[in-house]
Amino acid sequence: MNISALIPTVYPGNLPGFLQVAFFLSLLLLVFKAAQLYLHRQWLLKALQEFPSPPSHWFYGHKIHRDQELQDLLTRVKKFPRACPRWFWGSRAHFVTYDPDYMKLILGRSDPKSHDTYRLLAPWIGYGLLLLNGQTWFQHRRMLTPAFHYDILKPYVRIMADSVCVMLDKWEQMISQNSTLEIFQPISLMTLDTIMKCAFSYRGNVQLGGKVQPYIQAIMDMNNLLFSRLRNAFHQNDIIYSLTYDGHWTNRACQIAHEHTDQVIKCRRAQLQDEGELEKIKRKRRLDFLDILLFAKMENGSSLSDKDLRAEVDTFMFEGHDTTASGVSWTLHALATHPEHQQRCREEVQGLLGDGTPISWDLLDQMPYTTMCIKEALRLYPPVPAVSRMLNTPVTFPDGRSLPKGVTVQLSFYGLHHNPKVWPNPEVFDPSRFAPERTQHSHSFLPFSGGPRNCIGKQFAMSELKVSVALTLLRFELLPDPTRIPVLMPRIVLKSMNGIYLHLRKLP
Ligand code: HEM
């Protein structure tokens, strides 16, 4: 039978036989794909029917300008109680929640990370702790938890302080020429320096060499590229994406990031060989994060492949510096724009360190007001604005509404922290919200997420935040630059579209 007889209007009948078959099969595939997308859309519409959302287009979903995402979210938070679906395109929608009870329920379950979002991170950070699920995640988490024990963290305070001082010395030199500085970049270098020294026993000083600048830039690029890819229906397929300009760019950025982490692993392996046998090293000194990974492999050859090791190093290198850089930068910005709180923190820190006492682990617990200000900054500017899960069983929320298995749930920490039902006057910087006598819902403040998949580096990050803020306030008065107000940019990590500029005044 001649196939062209079946589709006479669209089919060019004079093609050779094999092209006719190819044409027919492509058409069939197209129809099949369209039917699949249509059915998935119908399923999503039904799954989300109990949750109203603003009107969306059947093809391109909710049309939100990429610079307006947070403003749009805040409008939804006010208008739709607890949660609201967000349609990206006809067949993709996420259920976005910003309610503490909903968050508590979801974070207490064991749903996996949502595949459609997190898989895009895999070419870069691999399947390390952040992306793993199930039993393998559990084993890795158990293996790595000792690296964050407070006995290990205590001596890190000295390393953190040294890294911060290198940055502040540079700032001092720079402000002799121009007292306004973009702080996100140097703070990223500082937090990268710190994580490389603490977790990977790296001995160089990355803040002075300039060699890591390409890595920092690659991370910045990846944040933007991933965000764009998530919002582009045509960029979901890996093969198609790899042929696009953005796909090439992503590959290049991944390559740069991997070159950096490979170098760190190589250095450490060489160091370990110099230091001798595993048992000798274990007796000699504490094991850092990378030791644990390398020894886990040595003790049980099959337990941690080179690929797994690389994934963990890539994960911790990124998670351990970019999030903290965001936290420190936004906290300094918040203090610059609220001089009265800045001064109160400074007085507290001067009381502890003003006579030249070096900062130490024990002193970090004696800065209650500074800690309240840091928390308030993390509320207003959560470094990780959202995370997502894919429901592996149906869920019924406390208000009786439910969702079936298979829905992607986005937990918007930014939405939660700016939800006026949870935080009255949410846009006001008010550290007294975190005063010890004030009570809050257990899930109203989640910069480090919650439940079993909370941030493993929370304590590390809080220590680094306190050290950075305390030492900066001892040396500088911070003022905002009214000509360059930062514009929030929600990527994997919360950044500013136009950098974060502060005016620094050296204190006598
Ligand atoms: C202010 C700084 C930080 C913030 C706000 C932050 C926030 C978070 C959040 C919200 C998650 C949950 C992610 C998800 O569910 O997809 C997370 C997970 C994680 N964080 Fe952090 N983080 C910070 C610093 C750090 C540091 C310093 C490290 C490492 C030294 C780290 C390592 C990790 C890892 C490995 C995970 C995955 C944990 C797991 O799934 O078991 N983070 N972090």
- C-alpha 422/C-alpha 439 separation (Å) is 12
Name, in order, each residue with C-beta under 8 angstroms of 382's C-beta and a sequence gap of 6 or more: 413, 414, 417, 446, 447, 494
- What is the 8-class DSSP label of residue 7? S
Query: What is the rounded average pLDDT for all residues in the chain?
Result: 91
How does pLDDT run across 316-333, given as a tens digit for each residue? 999 999 999 999 999 999
Q: How many domains does the chain have?
A: 1
Instruction: Let me know if 18 is exposed, middle or buried by CB neighbors in 10 A (0-12, 13-18, 19+).
Output: exposed
Task: State the pLDDT at residue 1.
Answer: 42
Residues 393-428 as b or e (16 or more Cβ within 10 Å = b): eebebeeeeebeeebbbbbbbbbbbbbeebbeebee
Residue 163 within a domain: yes
- In this structure, the residues whose C-beta lies within 6 A of any atom of ligand 1 are 113, 129-130, 141, 195, 315-316, 319-320, 323-324, 327, 383-384, 387, 447-449, 453, 455-457, 460-461
Sequential DSSP letters for 136-169: HHHHHHHHHGGGG-HHHHTTHHHHHHHHHHHHHH
- Ligand 1 centre to CA of 3 (Å) is 57
| Cβ 74 vs Cβ 426: under 8 Å | no
How would residue 205 be classed by pLDDT, with cut points 50, 70 and 90?
Answer: confident
Nearest-atom index, ligand 1, CA of 198: 30
Q: What is the CATH number of the domain that holds 104?
A: 1.10.630.10
Residue 342 within a domain: yes
Residue 397 within a domain: yes
Kindly report the number of other CB atoms within 10 A of residue 144's CB atom: 20
How does pLDDT run across 57-94, given as a tens digit for each residue? 999 999 888 789 999 999 999 999 999 999 999 999 99
Nearest-atom index, ligand 1, CA of 326: 1
455 is in an annotated binding site: yes
Task: State the pLDDT at residue 436.
Answer: 95
Which residues constitute the domain of residue 330? 65-506
The pLDDT of residue 469 is above 70: yes
How does pLDDT run across 212-260, given as a tens digit for each residue? 888 999 999 999 999 999 999 999 999 999 999 999 999 999 999 999 9
Cα-based torsion angle of the residue sequence 403, 405, 407, 411 in order, rounded to the nearest 10 degrees: 70
Task: State the pLDDT at residue 4.
Answer: 47
Q: Are strands 501-506 and 386-390 parallel, antiparallel or unpaired?
A: unpaired
pTM for this model (two decimals): 0.93
Task: State the pLDDT at residue 8.
Answer: 47
Residue 293 within a domain: yes
Residue 188 within a domain: yes
Task: State the pLDDT at residue 277.
Answer: 53
- C-alpha 484/C-alpha 283 separation (Å) is 53
Residue 56 within a domain: no
Residue 10 within a domain: no
Pocket residue to mutate for ligand 1, from 121, 132, 319, 443, most atoms within 8 A of Cβ: 319
Residue 30 within a domain: no
3-state secondary structure of 108: coil
Least confident of 4-13, 285-294, 446-455: 4-13
How would residue 132 be classed by pLDDT, with cut points 50, 70 and 90?
Answer: very high
- Ligand 1 centre to CA of 55 (Å) is 34
Cα-based torsion angle of the residue sequence 44, 48, 53, 55 in order, rounded to the nearest 10 degrees: 30
Nearest-atom index, ligand 1, CA of 315: 35
Nearest-atom index, ligand 1, CA of 199: 30
- C-alpha 122/C-alpha 226 separation (Å) is 11
